[in-house]
Amino acid sequence: MEWEISQVDPKKTIQKGSFRINPDGSQSIIEVPYARTEAHLMELLEHVCENMKAYGEKLDPDTHRKTYVRVLSRDGKRMDASNTNIERDAISDLKFTCERIAEEYEDELIEFFSHETDNVKDKLCSKRTDLCDHAVHIPHDEL
């Protein structure tokens, strides 16, 4: 999500405010940067889980904890996928989990990302959910 937000042209704006005409004939419309608006974040949440095909599943041999690592770069080039499960079932499970999290915690994700909150993953995990107490581990720089 952070990477997608960073790709928005800073000059791109959206009109915000009331479209009603005030008694003095003016309107209370302002232009705000599009990045991090609710409309932008909703759009990102609708598509973010499609990016799970760029990840693979690793299993820590000691703790048996699953982690997900990027196996395709953002420009589509293969990265090191050694000892990584990139089979369709693993990716399908990851995508399903992503969709569940995006749907169930949509309000929290929009709240945190709209305010440029540092450590969104930590705040989502520690303040609003118990997601990080489970076996699924999403690296901080990939959230």
Tens of pLDDT, residues 33-49: 899 999 999 999 999 99
> Residue 85 has which token pair?
């499960």
Q: What is the pLDDT of residue 22?
A: 80
Q: What is the mean pLDDT of residues 78-107?
A: 92
| pLDDT bracket for residue 85 (50, 70, 90) | very high
Q: Where are the beta strands (DSSP E) in the chain?
A: 13-21, 27-33, 55-59, 66-70, 136-137
- Tell me the whole-structure pTM to 2 decimals: 0.72
Burial readout 28-38 (b: 16 or more C-beta within 10 A, e: otherwise):
eeeeeebbbbe
Cα Rg for the chain, rounded, in angstroms? 19
